[in-house]
């Protein structure tokens, strides 16, 4: 076997499709985000980051970083074990209480990432129920898809946010068969929002459990940052809420919030939870500060929404193909993978603007795009120079302007 040849063949095919991933080597500077230093092969330069999921800049918030400083001085760097073997610190216990309260659930469970939370929970629940049908929105995140696949149970994919199709699938199996309806609130690539209450009502009518990924909404929506379900007043209709601590909350980790029984089962049966060292208490201290702050403060959420709307309007006025949506995500369509990569390279090389091209498999082929995530710290001036740069690249590369 020519291992090297096989490996390089695999990579060449990605390159030919414009899908080969090049990581941008950047350093964020506390206090000046979204400015950062880009370590290019030719040397360093200052850039503005336009694609961070640190949506509110909480990763650099003084309250968060000082809580982390305090914790590292008090307890040291790591947790030292899995949750079962010496890795449950008081910080973890406090944070799980805080999260259960945020979502008005009996209980919550921390994971090392949102990815693991989805994968571990969906695979475990469907396995424990036995012959459980998981009905999955077609645009669900890879971590949910992977969890459902690993459950080994039957799966049906429902057309994105299509209630009629969902009902059809719910009706296609006996009422007594266990079912989980899995979906997201804010879909992070198109920025559209699911009708959570209606989906849950339908699911419950057919005896299904509801599983909601609020990764792109926690911290960002709802009066206390509880997400879209909180904003819409339907927290009680969602059986299991999953979230991340890495995006709106700005640190790292993931969680579920649900009934005591659900949490107890996942805690007891999910290998991805059981056999992995728990989050560092330093991270957890930072997360606690972030969650507590965003429960009490609306300023960040309000400015965040205003910034997104302002950028969207500026792009529209400049005749750029911005996708309209009701959330904080601002996608600009390129619809060609190679061109999308070239545009991002031009922005970085010529304009010191960093936005990662989003290509297949993250989005369907033919819908390649730039995904801008304005945060409260992006200024009007930064937005003006972004729009100017895009206008320049669009003209030079003769890219279509209609959305
Ligand atoms: C980012 C993401 C996750 C994973 O969360 P991490 O904490 O980054 O692992 C899960 N679901 C969706 C929809 C995401 O975009």
pLDDT tens, residue by residue, 55-90: 999 999 999 999 999 999 999 999 999 999 999 999
Q: Point out the residues that are catalytic.
A: 247
The reply to whether ligand 1 has any atom less than 6 angstroms from the CB of 188 is: yes
Q: What percent of the chain has pLDDT over 70?
A: 100
Q: What angle do CA 315, 299, 356 make, to 5 degrees?
A: 40
The reply to whether ligand 1 has any atom less than 6 angstroms from the CB of 185 is: no
Q: Is 82 left (phi over 0), alpha (psi -120 to 50) or beta?
A: beta
Which residue is associated with the tokens 């989003």?
A: 358
Give mean pLDDT, residues 394-401: 92
> Which atom of ligand 1 lies at the shortest distance from residue 254's CA?
7
Pocket test for ligand 1, best of 53, 141, 185 (most atoms within 8 A of CB): 141
Tokens of 170: 């719910």
CA 11 – ligand 1 centroid, Å: 25
What is the Cα–Cα distance from 140 to 138, expressed in whole angstroms? 6
* Per-residue model confidence (pLDDT) at position 17: 78
Distances (CA, A) of 7 to 17, 150, 196: 16, 26, 43
The reply to whether ligand 1 has any atom less than 6 angstroms from the CB of 115 is: yes
Give mean pLDDT, residues 296-316: 98
* Contact status, residue 184 vs residue 137, Cβ threshold 8 Å: yes
What SS3 state is found at 324?
A: coil
Which burial class, exposed, middle or buried, applies to 264 when counting CB atoms under 10 A from its CB (0-12, 13-18, 19+)? middle
* Contact status, residue 347 vs residue 393, Cβ threshold 8 Å: yes
Which burial class, exposed, middle or buried, applies to 149 when counting CB atoms under 10 A from its CB (0-12, 13-18, 19+)? middle
CA 244 – ligand 1 centroid, Å: 6
The reply to whether ligand 1 has any atom less than 6 angstroms from the CB of 118 is: yes
* Per-residue model confidence (pLDDT) at position 403: 56
Counted residue by residue, the chain has a size of 403
CA 147 – ligand 1 centroid, Å: 13
Q: pTM score > 0.75 for this model?
A: yes
Cis peptide before 220 (omega within 30 of 0): no
Give mean pLDDT, residues 322-342: 94
């Amino acid at each position: 076997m020519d291992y090297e040849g096989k490996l390089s063949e695999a990579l060449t095919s990605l390159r030919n499709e414009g899908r080969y991933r090049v990581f941008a080597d950047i350093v964020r500077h506390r206090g000046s985000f979204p400015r950062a230093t880009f370590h290019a092969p030719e040397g360093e330069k200052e850039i503005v980051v336009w694609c961070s999921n640190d949506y509110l800049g909480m990763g650099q918030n003084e309250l968060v970083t000082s809580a982390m400083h305090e914790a590292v001085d008090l307890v040291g760097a790591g947790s030292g074990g899995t949750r079962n073997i010496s890795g449950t610190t008081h910080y973890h216990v406090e944070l799980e209480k805080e999260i259960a309260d945020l979502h008005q659930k009996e209980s919550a469970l921390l994971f090392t990432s949102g990815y693991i939370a989805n994968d571990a929970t969906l695979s475990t629940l469907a396995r424990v129920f036995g012959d459980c049908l998981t009905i999955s929105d077609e645009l669900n995140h890879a971590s949910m898809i992977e969890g459902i696949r690993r459950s080994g149970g039957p799966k049906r994919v429902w057309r994105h946010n299509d209630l009629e199709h969902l009902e059809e699938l719910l009706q296609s199996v006996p009422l007594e068969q266990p079912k989980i309806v899995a979906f997201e609130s804010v879909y992070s690539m198109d920025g559209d929002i699911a009708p959570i209450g209606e989906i849950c009502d339908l699911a419950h009518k057919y005896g299904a459990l509801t599983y909601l990924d609020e990764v792109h909404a926690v911290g960002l929506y709802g009066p206390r940052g509880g997400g879209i379900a909180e904003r819409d007043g339907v927290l009680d209709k969602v059986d299991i809420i999953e979230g991340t601590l890495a995006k709106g909350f700005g640190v790292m980790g993931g969680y579920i919030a649900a009934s005591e029984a659900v949490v107890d089962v996942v805690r007891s049966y999910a290998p991805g939870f059981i056999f992995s060292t728990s989050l560092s208490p330093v991270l957890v201290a930072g997360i606690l500060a972030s969650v507590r702050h965003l429960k009490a403060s609306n300023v960040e959420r309000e400015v965040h929404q205003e910034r997104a709307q302002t950028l969207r309007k500026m792009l529209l006025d400049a005749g750029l193909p911005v996708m309209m949506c009701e959330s904080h995500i601002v996608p600009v369509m390129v619809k060609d993978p190679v061109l999308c990569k070239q545009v991002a390279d031009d922005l970085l090389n010529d304009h010191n603007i960093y936005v990662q091209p989003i290509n297949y498999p993250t989005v369907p082929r033919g819908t390649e795009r730039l995904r801008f995530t304005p945060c409260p710290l992006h200024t009007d001036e930064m937005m003006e120079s972004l729009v100017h740069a895009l206008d320049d690249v669009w003209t030079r590369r003769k890219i279509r302007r209609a959305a």
